[in-house]
Structure 1
Amino acid sequence: MKKDITQKALFYFMQYGFKSFTMDDLANNLGISKKSLYEQFSSKSELVEATLDYALEMSCHQVDKFVLGEGSVIENVFRNQKEVQNLFNLISTKPIWELKKYFPKTYERMEIEFTKSDALFIDKLLEKGWQEGLFRKNINVSFYKVFYSSVQRLRTFSDTFDEREFPFWDTIYTLMEYFFRIIVNEKGLQELENVLKKVKSQ
């Protein structure tokens, strides 16, 4: 029951915000009493921490799956990003903004875990891309890790991109495209263009 509550709570928090969506709202949506909810989680802070653990388990702690698969590393990353989009159903930065403001300790832990995950992801990404002959050899890996992580935070954890002009997921996919354009060689560029055609046709 606890895991089911955590999964559904994360879904609702991603939709409505960590502050805006209350424990009363959650109990009503789950069809249980508020007392039963608090028997599982003694506070909303405890529940928010649990949702972060679940989110990390489903994304950051499974870096390998983002680069592995039947297709090229470029195709795999775009496909798995789509799975993340469907899993968390995050449609704006509002939930992240509320997490930072009202649950700062959880937000700080998330930042640390995502930074570690980003560095590991880049290592796996480059290794696979080099094996497939898609990426340039002369990449400053240390610089690229900092660049990648910083730009990711710019989209996900700030209001730099006005969502009226730059819809959340459109911007995520555009950033991914640009991340690849920086590191691909001629063969990789052809593969990227092929993948983008498939993505845009879906």
Structure 2
Amino acid sequence: MKSSENLVLLENLLKHAEMMFMKQGIKGLTMDDLAKEMGMSKKTIYALIRDKEHLVQEVMNYYVKKEVKTVEQIRKQAKNPIEEMVLIMSHVLQTTKELNPQVLFDMQKLYPKSWQIFHDYRNGYIFNFIHSNIEAGIKNDYYRSDIETDIITKFYLGAINVITDQALFPIKQYSFVALLQAYIQYHLRAIVSQKGLQELLQYKDIKV
């Protein structure tokens, strides 16, 4: 099989695996389930992926690349820092509507290498994005001038640790989307200036 054909097959495999992980979680999904869903033999799958751990890592890499592309498109589209954050957060809420929170718990507990990929993405690319957004917001009077950019950025990133803490927010009691929604409101309302609040109130796609 040509390498270009392999790449097409691999991308299709990762796309299907990502969707299945999002709905079912990682732990309960077997390679048999994936093969059946795709109408593909396990032999073909194992020609592309070594094992399930490798699959989870490749899916996470695929997810990160896709998210970076989406964020960059949104950054080009947004007219100001408020709109940038609203569009990003709307995207996050939309993509997590179908998310089974068990995905995050499974990854943290069972697939530390894959969790590290997510951790590096969050603490690298997302950190720089949020930091840049806050700086631009302060410079253009959309955010309060008395906030510490570095501290607020780390608060934002640290929220995922709080949201996924089952001791605080058991998944049987709290919707993951509801937790994200609450945090989005908390973050934006805490940092906007009067000018920023007026801009924020113009957007109806997200409750703020």
* Category of TM-score, reference length = shorter chain: 0.7 to 0.9
| TM-score with structure 2 setting the length | 0.83
* Percent identity over paired residues: 25
Q: Aligned-pair RMSD on alpha carbons?
A: 2.3
Matched with 2:90 is: 82
Whole-angstrom distance in 1 between the partners of 2:170 and 2:22: 18
Matched with 2:3 is: none
Equivalent position to 1:121, from 129, 145, 148: 129
Q: SS in structure 2 opposite 1:130?
A: helix
Whole-angstrom distance in 2 between the partners of 1:129 and 1:46: 40
- 8 Å CA contact retained: 1:60, 1:113: no
- Summarize the Cα distance change of 1:73–1:172 in structure 2 as closer, same or farther, 3 Å threshold: same
Q: Deviations over 1:141-181 (max 9, x none)?
A: 121122111113311x3223244543211221221121111
Whole-angstrom distance in 2 between the partners of 1:3 and 1:80: 24
Question: Where does structure 1 lack aligned partners over 5 or more consecutive residues?
Answer: none
- Summarize the Cα distance change of 1:113–1:80 in structure 2 as closer, same or farther, 3 Å threshold: closer
Equivalent position to 2:104, from 82, 85, 96: 96
Question: 1:132: how far off?
Answer: 4.0
Matched with 1:23 is: 31
1:63-78 correspondence to structure 2 within 5 Å: 63-78=71-86
| TM-score with structure 1 setting the length | 0.85
Q: SS in structure 2 opposite 1:133?
A: coil
Q: Deviations over 1:97-127 (max 9, x none)?
A: 1111221222123212212233212222113
Question: 1:140: how far off?
Answer: 0.7
Whole-angstrom distance in 2 between the partners of 1:27 and 1:85: 30
Whole-angstrom distance in 1 between the partners of 2:80 and 2:170: 33
Whole-angstrom distance in 2 between the partners of 1:183 and 1:68: 22
Question: 1:138: how far off?
Answer: 1.8
Is it true that 1:199 corresponds to 2:206 in the alignment?
A: yes
1:2-81 correspondence to structure 2 within 5 Å: 2-60=10-68, 63-81=71-89
How many equivalent residue pairs?
198
Q: Deviations over 1:68-91 (max 9, x none)?
A: 424443233333333344456543
- 8 Å CA contact retained: 1:63, 1:120: no
Matched with 1:182 is: 190
Q: Which amino acid aligns with 1:12?
A: M
- Summarize the Cα distance change of 1:99–1:117 in structure 2 as closer, same or farther, 3 Å threshold: same
Whole-angstrom distance in 2 between the partners of 1:35 and 1:136: 57
Q: Report the more deviating stretch, 75-84 or 144-153.
A: 75-84
Question: Where does structure 2 lack aligned partners over 5 or more consecutive residues?
Answer: 1-8
